[in-house]
Amino acid sequence: MLLTAQQKVTYALSTGVLRKGTVEGNEETDWMEGILNFKNKPFREVAAALERRFAIEIRLDPRLEDCSIYAKIGTEPVESTLKALTYLIGAELQKSGTRYSITGSGCPSS
């Protein structure tokens, strides 16, 4: 299979099928510049990725774990990033050393 600019191939392990597709923007290569893209990912997955990236601990209120996050996170400092994310879902952020606690009453309704 020959690829040209702005094309990609995905492989389905379960079926062994290769599928040609189009690369949208820089999403496929953002990781090389340290950019994280989240499209409707549960907050628990976003928090886990941020813990790894910034070597911090995030205590996430269980009521917020399944909140959908749509964000592109660049090289901003961890505290700015967490403040923006908590603002998006109407949650509160508290910091103690390298430990952050995010609390709230639940996911905002769409």
pLDDT digits (tens, 9 = 90+) for 68-101: 999 888 888 999 999 999 999 999 999 998 899 9
- Asked whether residue 27 carries a pLDDT value surpassing 90, the answer given is no
Dist CA 49 CA 45 (whole Å):
6
Of the pLDDT bands very low, low, confident and very high (cuts 50, 70, 90), residue 56 is very high
Residue 110 lies in a domain: no
Q: Tokens standing for 39?
A: 């499209």
Contact 20, 7 (CB under 8 A): yes
Residue with tokens 């952020």: 93
21/51 same-domain check: no
CB atoms within 10 A of CB 87: 11
38/72 same-domain check: yes
CB atoms within 10 A of CB 36: 16
20/45 same-domain check: no
Q: What is the pLDDT of residue 45?
A: 95
- Asked whether residue 58 carries a pLDDT value surpassing 70, the answer given is yes
Structural domain boundaries enclosing 76: 34-103
Strand partners, 9: 20
CB atoms within 10 A of CB 82: 21
Residue 108 lies in a domain: no
Q: What is the pLDDT of residue 21?
A: 81
Q: What is the CATH number of the domain that holds 64?
A: 3.55.50.30
Q: What is the pLDDT of residue 59?
A: 97
Number of domains in the chain: 2
| Closest among 88, 93, 97 to 60, alpha carbons compared | 93
96/51 same-domain check: yes
- Asked whether residue 28 carries a pLDDT value surpassing 70, the answer given is no
- Asked whether residue 30 carries a pLDDT value surpassing 70, the answer given is no
Q: What is the pLDDT of residue 48?
A: 95
Q: Is the dihedral of CA 20, 24, 29, 31 positive or negative?
A: negative
Contact 40, 24 (CB under 8 A): no
44/97 same-domain check: yes
